[in-house]
Amino acid sequence: MNITKDTRVADILNEYGDIADVMEIFGVKSVGRYSIRALLGKVLKVKVAARIHRVPLDEFLSMLEKATRIEPGTN
């Protein structure tokens, strides 16, 4: 999946699952309420999430790319 500034958080989670590394980047702890997480994920785009967390967009995209990278031989 190519993650861009306009990718919706929900699309990332649909592709990679509710993995801790990705959720932590978005500031959602694993004990968070799923209903809120699901709602925000549907409307929130990567560029907005970066702005909310005050992280430069390029850096935020890099963090997501690293968190979603699938290592060879792990699937």
In tens, the pLDDT along 25-51 reads 766 554 445 555 566 667 788 898 888
Domain-located, residue 35: yes
pLDDT score recorded for residue 30: 47
Domain-located, residue 47: yes
DSSP state of 71: P
Number of domains forming the structure of the chain: 1
CA distance 41 to 59: 20
Q: What is the mean pLDDT of residues 51-70?
A: 84
> The domain containing residue 17 runs over which residues?
9-68
Whether pTM > 0.85 for this model: the answer is no
